[in-house]
Amino acid sequence: MIAEDIERVAALIRQRNDIDRQISAVIGRPVVSGHLAEWLASQVFDIDLEVRANTRAIDGVFRSGPLRGRSVNIKGYGKQESMLDMTEAEGLDFYLVLTGPPADWTTSAAATRPWCVDHVYLFDAPRLLGRLRARPQAPKIGVATSVAAQYWREAEIYPAAVNPLLALTAEQAAALDCFRSAPAMPDEA
C-alpha cells in the first residue's frame, strides 16, 4: 500500500465531491452521466423533462421546434461505442444521444473518460427499432444494443448536421461547443 497515493486520491475525491455538489445545485439532480446529459439536452433543445427521473422509456418532451410535442429518451455516453441502451416500450418517438469521442478499442489502461459532448445524434426510435429487427442477425434490444456505424452517421446532428429532422441554431451549437473534449475544427464551426 502506498499511503501517499491513497491520501492524494482521497484529497482529489473530496474536491470532486465538492464540484459535484455545486453542479447538483444547478441541475437539481445528482451528477451522474445520465442526469447531466438530460439537463444539458433540456437546456439546449428546449425539452420539458419528466419530473421523476425513473419514468420508463421517456425522459421528456420537446417544447418547441420541429419536434414539438414529441417524446424523447436522452442518453449520455463518455465515448461513442456504437452501443445504445434501447427499449421496445411504445410511445417513444426519439433517442437523443450525447457522446464523447469515438472509443479507442486498444485498452482502457491509464485512460480517462471525461464528461464531454463531441457528438449528438437524433434517432427516430420506431424507425431504428424496425431497421434493427429487419437485419439478418438482428441484435438483442435492450442495454448496450449494437447499432451499425451507418445508422450513427445518419443520425448525427452535431457537429455535423447530417440528420435533417433537427437543424441546430448557431446558439445551440455554441452551447454544445462549451462541452467539447477538444476545440471544434474549422470545418465543423
Q: Chain-wide mean pLDDT for the chain?
A: 91
If phi over 0 gives left and psi between -120 and 50 gives alpha, with beta otherwise, what is residue 94?
A: beta
CA geometry: angle 17, 19, 21, nearest 5 deg: 70
C-alpha cell at 145: 444494443
CA distance 31 to 107: 26
In this predicted structure, what is the pLDDT of residue 68? 98
pLDDT of the residue at 1: 77
On whether the CB atoms of residues 96 and 41 are closer than 8 A, the answer is: yes
Mean pLDDT of the region 106-115: 72
pLDDT of residue 108: 66
For residues 46-58, give the mean pLDDT: 86
Q: Give the residue-averaged pLDDT of 18-28.
A: 95
pLDDT at 43: 98
Looking at residue 181, its pLDDT comes to 87
Does the pLDDT at position 189 exceed 50? Answer: no
* pLDDT-above-90 percentage for the chain: 75
For 39, 171, 176, the CA distances from 65, given in Å and listed in that order, are 18, 14, 18
Give domain limits for the chain: 1-30, 32-102+114-181
**Residues in Cβ contact with 171 at an 8 Å cutoff, skipping those fewer than 6 apart:** none
Q: Which fold has domain 32-102+114-181?
A: PvuII Endonuclease; Chain A (3.40.210)
